[in-house]
Amino acid sequence: MRIKAVNDTEVVVSVASLNLQETLGACRMGWDGPSVVMVNGQRFPPLGVLELEIEHRGMKASGKVIVLEMKWIELLLSNEFLIQFKRLQINYVPTGAELLLGELPVNAQVASTLPPADVEKLVELLEEFDTSFALKERELGVCKIAEHRINTGTATLVHQSPYKSAWKERAIVQKQVDEILDRSVIERQARGHRLWS
């Protein structure tokens, strides 16, 4: 479920609305702590506590939030959640503000030659399907929906000696190959060849 959250580094506790709790169908635990004092001095007793896990661009954070009757905000996140993303940055740009949690904001990676309306539409599309994109190399995976083989018939294997390179370059290449082997992006050939298939 996608929801918009308000991030506030000044608030002491994270707060979920009663509406969000009901929408999630989450079990609310009792609250035995003090009332919450608002900026205007009003006191409100929390309706309970929820355990929440939130995900933003593949990164997860979890913790407890108190439940209050809020009309305009579904979820207010405090530092307790935000610190789990390790990095919080707000970039003020002509079209508004970009929030950066952990990684580069999507709109920072969109070509500046596009008209602003197209940038906004593209960013909305990318954010809607953000789990379909890898933001870091380590997030690259394997798609096993369709597999194929290349039939070479009776052709013999072509062998080409590697280009000459310094030992340091070979070590870097081998490290990269080992990393993508570990992620199962490539696999070793069954015939015992040293390189990947």
**What span, in angstroms and rounded, lies between the C-alpha atoms of 111 and 74?**
32
Q: Which helix (H) or strand (E) holds 6?
A: strand 5-7
State the pLDDT at residue 196.
45
User: Could you read off the pLDDT of 108-117 as tens digits, one per residue?
Assistant: 556 667 787 8
**What span, in angstroms and rounded, lies between the C-alpha atoms of 175 and 129?**
31
| Buried b or exposed e, range 68-92, using 16+ CB within 10 angstroms | bebeeebbbbbbbbbeebeeeeeee
What is this structure's pTM?
A: 0.46
| Bridge partners for 63 per DSSP | 52
Weakly modelled stretches of the chain, pLDDT under 70: 57-58, 86-91, 96-112, 133-144, 190-197
